[in-house]
């Protein structure tokens, strides 16, 4: 009788166990809330082929830009929790948007689960080559000498470039004028032409102009120097102690995602990010791998919520 009950129990569990063990048995889709070609899109496209190899199924990137990337996040939050639809979460979509947009149709903190960190989409403080400033101290001195005269650009309210620029004003004790753009391309054009004085831009978007001498890097807002700009000091090294701003991206999914699927995705992402070819391609695009599973991603998310919520609220940023 005991043996028969055991067999019946095992049979009742078998379909679920089999599904978990068989996952994935078809292509996996990653939703990206940004247009093709940008730093975030580039990041996930670099790892997708290697991720697919590790999973044994193709990984398809689906760009769903719009509404400050909330369209993709909503689709990801509302997807079936079977592991076949994931979403690329970022500092902006998971930390900033829930604060500046009170009308989200999903709860970012309860409807989305972190899976694995992917990369730091680093920023760099750049100035036009015609400007005389060679260091951050030069720029801060110029801003203090003419309050409200210097202008800086950003690719949209609530973006990492906007909040990092606001944080610099706050921590350096300067007063400047911010100029918003609809993305990084026009911002880079106006920077090179000297129509704005400086900007925190993603390394991926301005690295070619830096290499060509069309923009001058003077500081990076990360905690440590970046390998592709090793000669450029951090903001903290430049005299504003405690300044650090990380702009990360990672894989996330809908609430209810099975633990076995999360573990498989964690392992596959670690495998992809350990590939020297992936690391090299990321470096060429100004991206730094961030190897961390769901627990590490959750800690990063929690820490940045605690750090940035007061800054976001003080900046007055609201959804446009």
Average pLDDT over residues 141-151: 97
126 token code pair? 């750049």
pLDDT at 3 over 60: no
pLDDT at 16: 44
- Nearest to residue 253, comparing CAs of 54, 30, 49? 30
pLDDT at 320: 60
Give 21's pLDDT tier (boundaries 50, 70, 90): low
Average pLDDT over residues 71-86: 97
Give 301's pLDDT tier (boundaries 50, 70, 90): very high
- Greater confidence, 84 or 228? 84
Per the listing, tokens 């202008």 go with 151
pLDDT, mean over the chain: 90
Say if CB 91 and CB 246 are below 8 A apart: yes
27 token code pair? 């292509």
Give 51's pLDDT tier (boundaries 50, 70, 90): very high
Say if CB 24 and CB 85 are below 8 A apart: no
User: For residues 56 and 83, what is the distance between their CA atoms, to the nearest angstrom?
Assistant: 14
14 token code pair? 């078998």
Average pLDDT over residues 235-254: 93
Average pLDDT over residues 198-204: 91
pLDDT at 172 over 80: yes
pLDDT at 8: 46
- Please write the tens of the pLDDT for every residue from 273-296: 999 999 999 988 888 899 999 999
pLDDT at 207: 87
Domains and CATH numbers, the chain: 28-120+247-315 (3.40.190.150), 123-229 (3.40.190.10)
- Nearest to residue 167, comparing CAs of 84, 256, 87, 236? 236
User: For residues 163 and 159, what is the distance between their CA atoms, to the nearest angstrom?
Assistant: 6
Q: In whole angstroms, what separates CA 82 from the centre of its chain? A: 24
pLDDT at 9: 47
CB-based burial of residue 256 (10 Å sphere; 0-12 exposed, 13-18 middle, 19+ buried)? exposed
Percent of the chain with pLDDT strictly greater than 70 = 93
Residue 255 phi/psi, 5° resolution?
-55, 140
Q: Range with the lowest mean pLDDT among 18-27, 144-153, 158-167, 305-314?
A: 18-27
Give 141's pLDDT tier (boundaries 50, 70, 90): very high
- Please write the tens of the pLDDT for every residue from 81-125: 999 999 999 998 999 999 998 889 999 999 999 999 999 888 999
- Nearest to residue 192, comparing CAs of 153, 226, 158, 159? 153
Give 245's pLDDT tier (boundaries 50, 70, 90): confident
pLDDT at 270: 97
């Amino acid at each position: 009788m005991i043996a028969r009950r055991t067999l019946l129990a095992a049979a009742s569990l078998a379909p679920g166990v089999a599904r978990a063990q068989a996952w994935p048995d078809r292509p996996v889709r990653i939703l990206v809330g940004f247009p093709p070609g940008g730093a975030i899109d580039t990041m996930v496209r670099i790892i997708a082929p290697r991720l697919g190899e590790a999973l044994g199924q193709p990984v398809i990137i689906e760009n769903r830009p719009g509404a400050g990337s909330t369209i993709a996040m909503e689709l990801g939050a509302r997807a079936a929790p079977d592991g076949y639809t994931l979403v690329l979460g970022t500092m902006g979509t998971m930390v900033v948007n829930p604060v500046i947009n009170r009308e989200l149709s999903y709860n970012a903190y309860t409807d989305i689960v972190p899976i694995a960190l992917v990369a730091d989409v680093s920023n760099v403080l750049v100035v036009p080559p015609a400007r005389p400033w060679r260091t951050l101290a030069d720029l801060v001195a110029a801003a203090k000498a003419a309050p409200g005269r210097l202008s800086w650009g950003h690719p949209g309210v609530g973006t990492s470039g906007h909040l990092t620029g606001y944080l610099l004003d706050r921590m350096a004790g300067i007063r400047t004028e911010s100029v918003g753009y609809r993305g990084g391309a026009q911002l880079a054009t106006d920077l090179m032409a000297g129509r704005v004085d400086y900007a925190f831009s993603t390394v991926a978007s301005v690295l070619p102009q830096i290499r060509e001498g069309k923009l001058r890097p003077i500081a990076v807002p990360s905690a440590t120097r970046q390998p592709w700009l090793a000669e450029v000091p951090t903001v903290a090294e430049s005299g504003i102690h405690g300044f650090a701003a990380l702009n990360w991206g990672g894989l996330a999914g809908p609430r209810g995602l099975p633990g076995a699927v999360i573990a498989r995705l964690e392992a596959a992402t670690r495998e992809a990010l350990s590939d020297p070819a992936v690391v090299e391609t990321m470096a060429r695009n100004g991206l730094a791998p961030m190897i961390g599973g769901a627990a590490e991603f959750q800690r990063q998310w929690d820490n940045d919520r605690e750090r940035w919520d007061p800054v976001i609220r003080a900046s007055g940023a609201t959804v446009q």
